[in-house]
Amino acid sequence: AQSVTQLDSQVPVFEEAPVELRCNYSSSVSVYLFWYVQYPNQGLQLLLKYLSGSTLVKGINGFEAEFNKSQTSFHLRKPSVHISDTAEYFCAVRRNNNDMRFGAGTRLTVKP
């Protein structure tokens, strides 16, 4: 079975500062990895995904993530955040055709 651990439940950061949201997964087989963002009272929106190939994945809104197989991590980064990036971020893992499993989420708060 696969599981996802998001290491930080809350990350406060000042506007224009860099940010990293950490995600580790556990699985004995190859998986597909995703990051989703959820704004208040909305569903989840896909930021980026890793399926295969280059371990550095670029997504929407200036976010990127790096797949590290040896450390079983898929951390999300942005070099300079905006107030509008304040939201809940979820890391997710999926194996073959099985269901997608989500982490508990990281609340990113960008302060002026």
Q: Which residue ranges make up the site for other proteins (CB under 8 A)? A: 4, 6, 32, 34, 36, 41-46, 49, 51, 90, 94-105
Closer by beta carbon to other proteins, 6 or else 73:
6
Least distance in Å: CB of 15 to other proteins?
A: 25
Closer by beta carbon to other proteins, 74 or else 103:
103
Least distance in Å: CB of 33 to other proteins?
A: 10
The neighbouring-strand residues paired with 37 are 45, 89
Least distance in Å: CB of 79 to other proteins?
A: 25
Long-range contacts of 46-50 (CB under 8 A, 24+ apart): 47/76, 47/89, 48/76, 50/74
What's the farthest any 2 CA atoms get from each other in the chain?
42
Closer by beta carbon to other proteins, 45 or else 68:
45
Q: How far is CA 44 from CA 3, 35, 54, 95, 102, in A?
A: 19, 10, 25, 19, 11
